[in-house]
Every structure is written in structure tokens, then in C-alpha cells.
Amino acid sequence: MVQIRFGRLACGVAGIALLAGCNAAPEPRAASAVAPAAQDNSPEALLARMSLKNKVAQLVMPDIGSITPKDVRKYRFGTILNGGNSGPYGDDKAPAADWLKLADEYWEASTAPLPKGEPAIPAVWATDAVHGHANVIGATVFPHNVALGATGDADLIRRIGAATAVEIEVTGIDWTFAPTIAVARDDRWGRTYESYSEDPALVSRMGAAMVEGLQGRPGEPGFLGEGKVAATAKHFFGDGGTAQGVDQGDVNGDLKELMAIHAAPYPAAIGAGVASVMASFNSINGSKMHGNGPLLTGELRGNLGFEGLVVGDWNGHGQVEGCTNGDCPQALLAGLDVYMVPEDWKALHASLLKQVKNGTIPMARLDEAVLRVLRLKQQLGIFDGEVKPSARALGGKWDRLGSAEHRAIAREAVAKSQVLLKNAGVLPLKAGARIEVAGLAADNIPQQAGGWSVTWQGGGDLTAADFPGATSIWAGIAAAAKASGGEAVLAPNGSAAGTPDVAIVVFGEEPYAEFVGDRKDLAFRDEEGLTLLKAYRARGIPTVAVFLSGRPLWVNRELNAADAFVAAWLPGSEGAGVADVLFGARPATGRLSFSWPAQCDGTPVNGPQGALFPLGYGLDLGANAPLAPMDETCAALTADTGAVWFANGKLGMQVQAVADNALLPDLRGGGNGITATGVDRKAQEDARRIAFAPGAKLTLTGPDSAAAWRITYQVTARPKGPVTVMAGGKALDITQGLSVAEGKGWREMVLTPACLGTTGAKLTFASKSAFTVQISEIARDEVAATAECSF
């Protein structure tokens, strides 16, 4: 039966009148359509009518922050992405309607007529919807994968995928870079929370379920149709197995043994029909995956039988030996089909065009890659009468974005992911109880959402207002307490009057993403929660610790201090799911999908050896299971490696701060135009307000290192004159970066050799005019040493 595509609704011609929504003729396509109806719109036929430069453009994926619809019309890019910090029209907090508006503009630009009968190939837009369509304000933010793995519920994951796909389609986007099917084997890795488990079998099951939720099942009605988007299995392969958990690092060992763990989830994802696979940043035995032909082509396509599209990661091709972001034929020859090149797209397009013309890249290889892009678009119905995003069945259906139905699924996922590690008879909470809820994370939706939430790193200047419709953990507890006939009081610092029956302390990791989250060990250092737990214990008040984290961490001190301990992971927008378990409205069915470490040093734990709690551990809610006191010895807590230069209101033991010749102990005091005073960020005077008089300089000296600088800072008023930073002999003007940071809350500055030349043992800030900045942390980071500078 002949098929017509209309807004992702497939209508059989013989039965059009019988299908709801099919009684109207498809919207006429403009003269810019791929081809008249009588022409062959198969990928092969379209390829034969394409010019060389437009073929090349199908393989170039720029970021929306660096291209306009005018650029798309001129260059005819085949694919577009938005990075984690890229929003429509330069606004990473743009309203949902702007995402759809820009999607229409890109569509219309890419389908504008071309001369000489050449087909105008619509561009497709891809996004990182890694835990819901969380870049978009108002979307449902599901728990991160580390939590979903703890549910063990593949049907739930399938439903989450389906809900996410609908919300993506509402904003006019066709493709998501999810699921991550990494098998994280070293929890120091900053992307551990993107992994379902250390167990390849569990990752395989959950990853395949997410693919089916996002795309539908191959061969079944609706596959990649209305309410479905193209999925991406990532990152092939080894991203979760790098040495010491270093993001984008090296994975070493026998290839068969490595594949048995880290490539194990791919057959299931391929079997589920995943449309694309993303190449990994990491190396395998020294060879970067973006240029690794034996693995991208020989293993992925040859042995695993993948026939879809292979897309690169953010400038990953530029890390291949002999390549730059704008010039890398090696990646295409190795098996990459689409280059993710956020900013250097013009140079890359020119170099690829030249390399095809001079024979460096065979025409057959170019055509093979272009065909894979066209076939992906064919699967999405792009060539069968598809219309612009806003005219599709779900385009602009804002009631589906963050809908009550989707939030209910997310709340269910939160509840099913809670893992009860300790319970000395405190849980479930008794009806009618008087409850005090403490901790800065209790009423903090950005913190419970984690990274990849509205912005790439999450947190920072985000507030509850950036998550409309979301529920904090505190709000969920308050509602549940009231429903049970009791009451709850919010006391972030544990200072409420009265004596509650029980105290719930919510604390944990601050949001992060990718390399920013890499750690040297697994010690949880922030003592806010520990201090609160000990204070309640001293008052004789039973406590429940609710720990937010993107991975298992060494928390022996907190486990000892609490009467009950819940690993709540990163629950996302529906914090009420935590209360569902605490109050017994849902059972505690969550089980660890990662081994929990007994020691803090960071030695990988993937099995019972070295585990405090093994894979699969989790208590039932009614269990009375106190723990014997645990060893609280952790050398990493007291060791001063020189990496921390300023934190918690103190300079590192080997660090000095001076204003010209005036010494500033613990970065406090004044002299020679510098005034440094204490301000509160998380605790009393744990940060500094540093005021520069015109011409003043502040210098910090410490251990010599080639590591990058990571500085957590806040600017309330932009500088009125030039501000520079210097390490070694090169001064860098950072005025623009500081100006952009104005009024955006706490941010992170990363200074590396890429902009400083050298990093060394000294860092000097200078301002030519009066200027004030707040600083809460200064650290050296070896992991980020090869990264670009950022503000």
C-alpha cells in the first residue's frame, strides 16, 4: 500500500478516511521540497542529484550558537546540534517556544530551492536529552541513569524514553544523543551518573529499553513515527573504563577483554534498531576512537553489524593525531560519518571539500557517509511529505511538555531508584510525626537535578524558577507529612525551634558534568551534612540522611552519624518521589547498580572485594538494619597535595596571597589597593569578596604545576576597565568573560595553558579600574590541563 507521511502520521492511501487526522490532504510543500512527488526520493536517487559541496555539508554538524538560518541556507548543513550551554538566539534559558521557532527557521533555510533541480535536503537537529528534554525550561527532568539503573525496571525506562521523545518533538527536534550505554568501572569519572551500572548485562538491558522508548520497536507500527525521535548509543567504546576515571582518557588492556565489558551493551542497542552511534572521546591502547578504523569500521560495522550513522562527539575528531578541529580526513576514513564541529564548521567544510577533490578522501567513502545521513532522514519520514516542525502533530503542543502524565512517570522512577543503605528502625516515618528538614539541598531543585539540567554543568545561577512545575525534596516531604496528619518544618541550617520527632538531612554533591566532575578519590568532603547529623544526634533526635550524588562515594562518617541513610542519586524535577519512600507510600525497591566503596582512596570497586555494600544491595523499607560503626579513617581528607589553593575559607597550607608586598592570611585583610573580606556561600565566611582599587594586583603563589586552574567565582557588577590574569609571563584579558558573568551567580572559570601559555606556581589578577569579585574556591586540576579556557 502506498504510504504518505503527514506530520509524522503515516496514512495508508486506501484507508485515509478511516484514520483520525488523515481526512485532510497533506499540507502542500513549497517548490523547495526535496523533489516533486513523481521523482524518486530514495536516498540513492537524492544522492545522485546532489552537488559535491552539498554532499560534504551533510557531514558537518555545527552548534546553534555559531550558525544562523542564513548560514544553513548558504551551506546546506545536513545536521545541527545544540550543546549543553547553547540555547536559541544565544539564550540558554530561552522559552520552549523559541526552540520551536528556531527549528522552523532552520527547516525553512535548509529546504529553500536550489538551482538546476538539485534536491534541497532538510536539516535535522540533535540534542542531548540525557535525562529528559532537560535543556528546555519546563520539561520533565527524569532521574539520571545512575538512579535508573537502581530501579532495575526496563519497562519503566522504556516509558521514560517514550515520554522524553514526545517532549523533544514538541520543540521541533528530531534526534537525541541518548542513551549513554557506558559501563562505568571507575567512579572517579565525572560522567559516572550517565551510566546505568558497572554491570554490562544491566547496562545492555536498560540501554536497549531506552532506545525502544525513544524510537519505538523496529517492524512495529509507529517506529520512528509521531512522538518518536532518533536515538544515539554512546560512546563507542570504552568511555567508562579510562585509567583513573579521567574523562576522555586512555583505556588500556587486551582488546577482547575490554570489549567484553565496554562494548557489551552495543549488540542489544543495535538489535533494538538504534539509529546512530556516537564515537567516544577516549583512546583504546593509545589510539583515539575518532580515528580508529579497526574499531569504528572493523568491530562496530563488521563484527557488530551496525548499519546506521556514526556521529562524532564535540570536536572529538580534533584530538586525533595530525588533526585539528577544522581539518581531519582521518576521522572520515576511519568510519566517522558526521563531524560534530560546533564552531570550526567553515574550515572543516572547506578542508573536506578540498580533500575529496584531491583524492585524499575517495568519492565512494563520501557517498557512503552521505547515504547514511540520508537514510536516517528517510527513517524519520523527512522525504515522505514531512512538514516543518511547528506543523507536525506534536509541534507546539505545550501541554505535553512537562505534562502531569510524564511527571508521574518521573516520580515513579525517583521512588523506585531510592536505595536504603541503613535503617535503625526510623523508616518508614510514622504518621503524624513532627519532622525537621535540614540541609541546603533540601529545597534546591537545581542540585537535585544535577548536571545536564537547563545548562551543561547545571547548578550555578539556576534557581527553582528555571524548573517550573518541579517539586523539591522538601516540598514533597512537607506535603506527605501534612497528608499523614503530621507537620514538617524547613530548617536549612538545623536551627528551627522545638524538638522534632525526627530530622531529615538532605545533602550531597554539587552539580557537574563531564571532566569538571572527575575526582582524584571518592572521599565526600563537604561536611555540611555531617555537621547537621552530629548536631541532631547530640540533641537525641533520630535522623534520616538523604544523600544526593552522581556516584557511590565514601561517606562512612555520615553513615555512622545517621540512623537511616538513603542513596537518592540525582532525582530530577520530581522530588516528591523521595518522600513516597520515606513515608512508606511506595516500597523501597531500589538496589545498587554500582558497588559502594569501603575506602576513600578511589581504587575501582567492581564486585564484592573492597565494597562496603555490594552490587544489588538495598534494604526493604521495614528492615531494622543498623550498621556496626565503620572506620572513618581517610588519608585523602587530610593530605595536602597542593591541588586546593583556597576552599572553605582557607588557603592551602602551601599557598600564599599577597597584594604587592602585603600578606593576606587566608585571603583576608587588605593593603596596596586590595580589600578581601569574608562572605557566606555555603557556610559562614567560606568565600571572599575581593575589591580592587584602580591599578591593584592580587597574587597567589603555591606549588609549581602544569595543571589548570579551576576558580569558582561570582560577579555582581561588570568591570569598568580591563581586568587581566597572568601565570608565568603571559597576561590574559578576561574582561569580557567577567562581563558575561555579571549577575549570573556562582560560575566556574577554567584557566589552562591554552590561553595562559603556562600555568606554573603563580597567578596574578590585576584591574585597571575599581572592580569587585567574589571567590569561593581555587584549585589546580590536572584533568582539565588540556581543555579550552572557559568562564
Whether 321 sits among the annotated catalytic residues: the reply is: no
Whether 514 sits among the annotated catalytic residues: the reply is: yes
End-to-end CA distance of the chain: 57
Cis amide bond preceding 237, omega within 30: yes
Nearest to 52 by CA among 355, 397, 459: 355
Q: Are 323 and 347 in contact (CB under 8 A)?
A: no
From the number of C-beta atoms within 10 Å of its C-beta (0-12, 13-18, 19+), residue 140 rates as buried
Q: Are 208 and 268 in contact (CB under 8 A)?
A: yes
Q: Are 410 and 547 in contact (CB under 8 A)?
A: no
For 465, which DSSP code?
G
- The rounded Cα 170 to chain-centroid distance in angstroms is 21
Q: Name the CA radius of gyration of the chain, rounded.
A: 27
Which of 174, 514, 518, 558 is catalytic? The answer is 514
**Looking at the DSSP assignment, which residues form a beta bridge with residue 126?**
81, 175
From the number of C-beta atoms within 10 Å of its C-beta (0-12, 13-18, 19+), residue 640 rates as exposed
Q: Pairing relation of β-strands 564-567 and 283-284?
A: unpaired
How far apart (Å, rounded) are the C-alpha atoms in residues 105 and 66? 15
- The rounded Cα 178 to chain-centroid distance in angstroms is 10
Q: Are 175 and 127 in contact (CB under 8 A)?
A: yes
Residue burial 196-206, b: 16+ Cβ < 10 Å; e: rest = bbbbbebbbbb
Nearest to 250 by CA among 783, 791, 790: 783
Please report how many Cα atoms fall inside a 13 Å half-sphere around the Cα of residue 138, on the Cβ side.
17
How far apart (Å, rounded) are the C-alpha atoms in residues 166 and 435? 38
DSSP string, 364-406: HHHHHHHHHHHHHHHHTTTTTT---GGGSSSTT-GGGTT-HHH
Residue 734: phi, psi to the nearest 5?
Answer: -115, 20
Cis amide bond preceding 428, omega within 30: yes
Q: Are 124 and 377 in contact (CB under 8 A)?
A: yes
Joined together, the cell numbers standing for residue 628 give 556496626
Q: Are 121 and 60 in contact (CB under 8 A)?
A: no
Residue owning grid cell 542497542: 269
Joined together, the cell numbers standing for residue 363 give 568519492
What SS3 string covers 215-283? HCCCCCCCCCCCCCCECEEEEECCHHHCHHHCCCCEECCCHHHHHHHHCCCHHHHHHCCCCEEEECCCE
DSSP string, 132-191: BSTTSTTS--PPPHHHHHHH--HHHHHHHHHHHHHHHHHTT--EE---B--B---TTSTT
**Looking at the DSSP assignment, which residues form a beta bridge with residue 657?**
700
CB count within 10 Å of CB 19 equals: 12
For 346, which DSSP code?
H
Q: Are 85 and 456 in contact (CB under 8 A)?
A: yes
For residue 708, the SS3 value is strand
Which of 226, 313, 337, 781 is catalytic? The answer is 313
**Looking at the DSSP assignment, which residues form a beta bridge with residue 125?**
80
From the number of C-beta atoms within 10 Å of its C-beta (0-12, 13-18, 19+), residue 693 rates as middle
The residues annotated as belonging to the active site are: 313, 514
